[in-house]
Structure 1
Amino acid sequence: MFYCPTRIIFADNAMQKAKEYIASFGKRALIVTGKNSAKQSGALSDTISVLREADINYALFDRITENPTLDIVMEGKSAFLQNNCDFVIGIGGGSPVDSAKAISLAAANSLNRDEMYNTSVFKKAYPILAIPLTAGTGTEVTQYSVLSDPLTKKKAGFGCDLAFPTLAVLDPKYTLTLPPKVTLHTALDALSHLLEGLYSNQRSPIVYPFIYKGIASIMKFLPIVLSKPENYLAREELMRDALYGGMVIAQGSTTLQHSIGYPLTSFYGIPHGLANAMVMEDIMELYYPAIQQELDDLFSYLQINKDNFYTWLKSLPFERKIDFSEDFIDKAIPQIMSSRNMALNPLPVTEQQVRTLLENLRKT
């Protein structure tokens, strides 16, 4: 099975090409974004120009930060309703787009803070336009939204078909202003998504071409972008790879590799893609006995072996270890084990195995 109800426009000057579709969404938009990246990339001005050309009014909600919270979503819901909006535009990385999805659902279904993870009460949604500014999350083509609860320090996601964006507008030029670390971390997130398409026990050969092509492309073009940030062709390839990753996890979701990263982000502010990368080798080793054939087929396509992949991963400039306490491990394990992603692992995973994975991250 393959399901992706999102219309995708991937092109130079993509916003102009999307104008006729955006005009059908409504007459007043809530633009959901952060403080800086939408302006710096040029995406905000492009969006506003298209809205004006289509005679669409808008309100700006630019309070989204990394790891958006339930409280910010509730503020966005109020802004949406107070400004009589009829569709929402998320501009940014995963945080603004995930927030836009949640705001659409919260406003359409009159949800309160405590209902945001209860998908059984989601009955409708306002149209969602997603404009990614990173090449990472793929959230522009998924049904997922990941939010944080500052009261419990828990980061978790929900999945609902109503959260699929109506339209995704991808223009590689918006990624040219990304800082090197953000470029790296978001690409590693996309790589994680592609690998987890093989790991998930809901894996489907339908998406294997996306997985193979996306991983090969990231391995080739990520080092190029890190050394030459202005290389448009390489940026275009990475944005397409992230799109592939989103389409992959929309079918099979994610696994322990994502679950273990959530508390690292919630407690220590580790960027999501980096958290995935820090455990990538250990997770592959853990899973390998259960999915040896799938991984061997992948490496055959890539014309490398598993050790070659680890060598490439080690060549990338990111931290592998962090300082944390035993107390953190004791708090993190229940969150990880109760995550919905754990049901999708390709083999049973014990608390002790999770503890070992976390201990391996600790600086000695």
Structure 2
Amino acid sequence: MRNIPTDIYIENEAVKNHGGEIAELGKKAMIVTGRHSSAVNGSLDDVRAVLESQGIGYVIYNDIEENPSVETVYTAATAAVKYGVDMFVAVGGGSPMDASKAISMLAKNGIVCENAEFSENEGVVKAEKCELPDSIAKVEELLYTPAKLPFYPIVCVPTTCGTGSEATPYSILTSHIKHTKKSIAHKIFPSLALVDYGYLKTSSYGGMKSTCVDALAHMIESRLNTNANAFSRAYAEEGMRLWASCKGCLETEERFAQMTDDEFSTFMQASVLAGMAIAYTGTSIPHGLSYTLTYENGVPHGNAIGVFLSGFLKKYGDSTEVEYVVKQLLGFDDIDAFRDYIRTLFGKLDMSEELWKKDRDGILANPAKLKNYPFELTADMLDDYVRYYNA
């Protein structure tokens, strides 16, 4: 059983309220973020203000792309070493938070690009030159080989209500060598998570749907999981109850535009609970199937998971457990109603037969995902996932 060592605060102005705890973690920070959303929703300004008020130096690395790659975290780690960073503040959705964990570990262990050159403008660091090794496979081997390696402290400031990365030890990176997304082998919990629903208010409708369904999948996959225990079930079940109370907010853009502070707060709480649940269990089959769809077809992460959820429930080996999840926790009349809800959000699954077979056969050869599924899984059963969703 895994304890969650992260100090998690869910409150208004969480960043401003906990500057002292941030200051205890290091003397110079790298803010890890993307280029746009953190600047728009105010989270980046809040973090900068608190670091400055605490006398903590910082640089900003804002080249984290959606579904961050091994190459990106390697370059960022090189910058962190060059600028003498000893802590990280991840600001944004799952991409910056996941990336910061890998960056922290690489930087702490001196896995850097030799002869790299960077420029700095108003605190923002850019790579001017960073020659990757002859084969990035050497870096991937370190990331994906289990070992106990040290890492620098990490503060997570989530601005979406989906990944729950602020409460998990997982770092999902894109491997261009393997043409997929995959969690690194190292378990790296953040030291501190500062969760403020106010940052959700600038979310787009599409972004909100995708991230919310990602959180929903975490809870379903954790609850129906080989590794489920009393703690993970409690987190997943309470999270699903909260999520269900606001699920109507996602059905139309008009309803989304009318969301209240309480509804944003509820989704954010559900996302954190979902992250806490999968910290114990890991994810299962829908997540495993989603990575190929995202890498090959560019489908957003939550959408790619969502299209496999109803089939996962339909073919799951314990109908009593499924009925409890679908009816009692999520408030749907049956699995068909759940499927129809997801199709309202994302439409039907559009995936070539060739790509689907690659995806299907890949999950059947993936022991890390299969071990989290408590029943036998066959190719015909997986084919039924797609047939049922698109029926």
If the length of structure 2 is used for normalisation, what is the TM-score? Answer: 0.86
Select 1:131's aligned residue among 157, 163, 166.
Answer: 157
- SS of 1:165's equivalent in the other structure is coil
What are the within-5 Å matches in structure 2 for residues 310-349 of structure 1? 310=338, 313-314=341-342, 316-322=344-350, 324-339=351-366, 340-349=368-377
The equivalent residue for 1:157 is: 183
| Residue type at the aligned position of 2:175 | D
Deviations 1:153-191 (A, max 9, x none): 121113533x11110010000110000010011000000
**C-alpha separation in 1, matches of 2:329 and 2:177:** 46
**C-alpha separation in 2, matches of 1:93 and 1:116:** 25
- SS of 2:8's equivalent in the other structure is strand
Select 2:287's aligned residue among 252, 255, 258.
Answer: 258
- Does the Cα contact within 8 Å between 2:32 and 2:64 map onto a contact in 1? yes
More displaced stretch, 219-228 vs 229-238? 219-228
Within the alignment, does 1:179 sit opposite 2:204 as a pair?
yes
- SS of 2:291's equivalent in the other structure is helix
- Does the Cα contact within 8 Å between 2:180 and 2:295 map onto a contact in 1? yes
Equivalent residue pairs, number: 359
Deviations 1:83-110 (A, max 9, x none): 1100111111111100001101111223
**C-alpha separation in 1, matches of 2:343 and 2:355:** 29
Deviations 1:98-136 (A, max 9, x none): 000110111122345223443433421100111111000
The equivalent residue for 2:33 is: 33
- Residue 301 (structure 1) shift: 5.0
| Residue type at the aligned position of 2:179 | K
What are the within-5 Å matches in structure 2 for residues 79-118 of structure 1? 79-111=79-111, 113-118=139-144
- SS of 1:78's equivalent in the other structure is helix
- SS of 2:190's equivalent in the other structure is coil
| Residue type at the aligned position of 2:63 | R
Deviations 1:216-245 (A, max 9, x none): 222221323651445211000000000010
The equivalent residue for 2:3 is: 3
- Does the Cα contact within 8 Å between 1:259 and 1:342 map onto a contact in 2? no
Identity of aligned residues (%): 27
Once superposed, what is the RMSD of the aligned Cα atoms? 2.2
**C-alpha separation in 2, matches of 1:291 and 1:87:** 45
- Residue 356 (structure 1) shift: 4.5
- Does the Cα contact within 8 Å between 1:281 and 1:310 map onto a contact in 2? yes
The equivalent residue for 1:240 is: 269
More displaced stretch, 346-355 vs 307-316? 307-316
- Does the Cα contact within 8 Å between 1:143 and 1:159 map onto a contact in 2? no
- Residue 311 (structure 1) shift: 6.1
**C-alpha separation in 1, matches of 2:81 and 2:97:** 18
- Does the Cα contact within 8 Å between 1:191 and 1:245 map onto a contact in 2? yes
- Residue 152 (structure 1) shift: 2.9
| Residue type at the aligned position of 1:131 | V
The equivalent residue for 1:220 is: 245
Q: Which runs of 5+ in 1 are unaligned?
A: none
Give the direction of change, closer, same or farther, for the CA distance of 1:159–1:120 in structure 2 (3 Å limit): closer
More displaced stretch, 295-304 vs 75-84? 295-304
What are the within-5 Å matches in structure 2 for residues 67-82 of structure 1? 67-82=67-82
The equivalent residue for 1:351 is: 379
- Does the Cα contact within 8 Å between 1:140 and 1:165 map onto a contact in 2? yes
- Does the Cα contact within 8 Å between 2:349 and 2:386 map onto a contact in 1? no
The equivalent residue for 1:167 is: 192
